[in-house]
Each structure stands twice: as C-alpha cells, then as structure tokens.
Structure 1
C-alpha cells in the first residue's frame, strides 16, 4: 500500500482506509491503485472474508477527485482504460463482500466508491451528493455503478441539481443499508452476521448476483438453474444441511 491508502487486517476483514484527511480523503491515482490492489489481495487470500473501505477522520469518507491539483481530469487518452473505471471493473469481479463505512461527507467520486461496494453503513452526520454539475462537470463513470442502486428520479435530481442527501435520506433511497450514531458498533454487528455464514456460499452467491444483474428474465433463469446445482455440491452445503439436521452450529471449511 502507500501513505494515501492504509491497509490493515482485523480478524477476517481487510480494512482499506483513505488517508488524506487534510484533503477530505479526496481521490488520487495512488488511492485508486491502493484500493484495487487491496481488493485483488482479498480475492486471493481465503482467510480474508470481507473488505471494509473507509476514510480517516470524521469529516469525510471521500470528497471525490482532488480538484486542488488542477489535474484530476487530465487523462492520457492514449490509454483506453482509466483508473477509476478499472477499480469498478475490479470490484465487479470480486467475490469477497465489500463494505463501505461512511464516516462523513461522501461526494462525487466517493459516491462511486460506496456504490461499488456490496453493503454500506453510514454515520448520522454523513452526507451524500453528486455536485459535479455545479463545476460544469457530470458524474459519468460513477453512474455505471450507481444507476441501478437508487430510484431513477432520485438519481436524476442528484445529478442535475447537485444538492446532497442526508444520511436518513440516503437510507430511504436505498443508497446505504443502515445509519447509526454508533458507526463502528453497527459495522461490527454486520461483519459478525456476515462472517457467521458459509464462505463458499457467499463467494459463489456474489458471483451469481453480479452476473445476473443485467440479464433478461429467461437468461437469469437459465443461469441460476445451473448455479443452484453447483451450490449444493460444496462441502459447506453438505455441512450446513447436516448441522441443521443435528441441531448444531456448522463448521465451515469454505470449500
């Protein structure tokens, strides 16, 4: 990792923390690369069961691009793939659950970071917005991961008006799973609930969820008809059913 993106494993979770509080945890190429490297690492390490993405301090989760540099949108157009887009591609392939711990302002590109995650927990003081239109820009890449997450009219208002949502408004819109003054307490509860379940079922389940999202009904039915048989072939599936019959807690192998 690097000084801009901290990495720490706690129990079975990898914490990736944007460490630029003086710039409201704004995104840089180093932050994007660090997030991508961390997620790839988690998907290679069977001992890592979840990835938590957050920001340093209490003011901001991520304020989006660092506009103070004047270079945030100075891309090398000889390169067809951009850093943010590659991060979103990486998360699309992840079968390790990604959880956003939203500790403050979540704006512009920061909205992309929470939208690329599978789950999100926010503090009561968190704010969410797409203010790009106020700067003559538009949240183009972010829409690829955000457009199916919130209602269309909510998304359009966020994009065209640029005004933020409160944490409770974000919860009502389906942008986050929970809002609490006890952010870490709620995060720990979510992690406990997640980590109690079968690692094999979660990995293949996320694979299934992500692949069927853009399928038609008939395509998704054909796909899931094949997937359900594969779920049942895992060691975890056999152990889970046996534990149910024996009225005991399952002993997962993750296979």
Structure 2
C-alpha cells in the first residue's frame, strides 16, 4: 500500500497496520486512503474473511489527526466528500467483518477508526478518549460511528469533558468486545470463532445488520422478511442444514 500503512494477509485475515510510531500512529491522507483501499480489496476477494485494523508497536493504536502538521483540518471545501468521511462510508458498506486490534492509545480520530469496526479487542494498557474540546475542536465526524455504540449520556460526557478513560471503562461502555493482557491471543480466539462459520451467512448477515439499524420496526420487518428467504437460497445454507442432519462439520463454499 504505502510506507504509512502496512498490509499483510495471514491465513484468511487482512492486517492493516498504521506505521507512524514517531507520531503515535496519527492519521494522514495516505493512511485513510490505504485503509479504505484495504477494505475494498477484502470485499472483492472471497478468500479474505476478516480485516484487522491496528497500529504499529505497543504505544498507540491511533492518536487521531496529526496536529503537528497544522493542516489536519484544512480541506478542499468545494469537495463534499472528505477523507475520514469517505473511510467511514467505506467501512459501513463492507460485508467483510472489520476488527479493531487496539494495542495502545486510541484517541480522537482513532476512536472513529475503532468504532467504525464491527468488533474490537483491546490490550489492558489501552487508553481511550475524545480530547478535541481541549484544542477548541469537536469530534463531529466520529459521532456518526460512535452514536450507535455508546449510550447517549456516556457519549456526551466523553465528548464534552475530553478526559481519557481505561480499556476496562471502554469495555463497560460497550466500545469493546474483549480486553486482555494477551491481545493477540484474544484476537486469535475471536478470529477462530468467526472463520469457522459460513462466509455467505456472515457477509449477508453484516449487510442485514447494517441496514436494519436505521429502520423503523415495520421497515426492518419487511426488509428482514425478504432477507431470510435469500439466506435460505445460498449453498452454505443448504450445506449447513445437511451437515446438521448428518452430524458432521459443514464444508463451506461461501456461496
């Protein structure tokens, strides 16, 4: 991809690693574009079953925008589609699960990268926060991916006070699936539970989950009525039910 974002396929997972340790893995346009490109690649490649987003080293997952540049919030205002917003749109459309491997400080825009993922695992030493108000800003774009993850009153406090909080507090707030002293072992356990399931069911299932979130009850019922019929038409559905009856492990095709 580029020097600022490392890309590696391990088994059925694509690892995207922000490689800016000198700047606490802060975001740049190249990082945003690289992550977006990686997600798009995963959605085109049936052999990739998950995307892992993380940061290099043990100090930081992502510190957010690189304020040292002085240009982090300078945009072409004639362009209605900006880098971070485009990445959030890309993540929203992904039917390959995105997993945040939070290896250290997860601040500001880094919280957005974590929250846009479908699942998140963090180390015990990880620290979280939205400190934008301390420099006269506000985590406006991040709200789009955080508002359905964190309860409203907790989200308001995090945004308005700008104070850091621990991984255990993030877990209690619903931001994380797991916190562990052995981050990679926990991630491997999660991946193992994910990768032995039907690829077709997971891809269409994520599509369904993301669409019903913004629907009213009646809209979601009408939509899911049609979706359940499509699930049943897949090869994986037929194989899964046959394997259940024959008391054996299914052989997934992903179709």
Provide Cα deviations, 1:183-229, integer angstroms capped at 9, x if missing partner. 00000000000000000000000000001100000000000010001
**Structure-2 residue corresponding to 1:237:** 237
**Structure-2 residue corresponding to 1:50:** 50
**Structure-2 residue corresponding to 1:248:** 248
Question: Stretches of 4+ moved more than 6 A in 1?
Answer: none
**Structure-1 residue corresponding to 2:72:** 72
Q: CA deviation at 1:158?
A: 0.5
Aligned residues: 255
In the alignment, structure 1 residue 214 sits paired with structure 2 residue 240 = no
RMSD of the alignment, in Å?
0.4
Q: CA deviation at 1:164?
A: 1.3
Question: Structure 1: 5+ residue runs without aligned partners?
Answer: none
TM-score by length of 1: 1.00
Q: CA deviation at 1:69?
A: 0.3
**Structure-1 residue corresponding to 2:189:** 189
Provide Cα deviations, 1:208-254, integer angstroms capped at 9, x if missing partner. 00011000000000000100010000000000000001110000000
Separation in structure 1 between the aligned mates of residue 157 and residue 58 of structure 2, nearest angstrom: 27
Q: CA deviation at 1:129?
A: 0.4
What aligned pairs does 1:142-157 form with structure 2 within 5 A after superposition?
Answer: 142-157=142-157
SS at match of 2:237: helix
Separation in structure 1 between the aligned mates of residue 115 and residue 206 of structure 2, nearest angstrom: 15
Q: CA deviation at 1:165?
A: 1.5
What aligned pairs does 1:1-255 form with structure 2 within 5 A after superposition?
Answer: 1-255=1-255
TM-score by length of 2: 1.00
Separation in structure 1 between the aligned mates of residue 182 and residue 59 of structure 2, nearest angstrom: 16
Question: Structure 2: 5+ residue runs without aligned partners?
Answer: none
SS at match of 1:6: strand
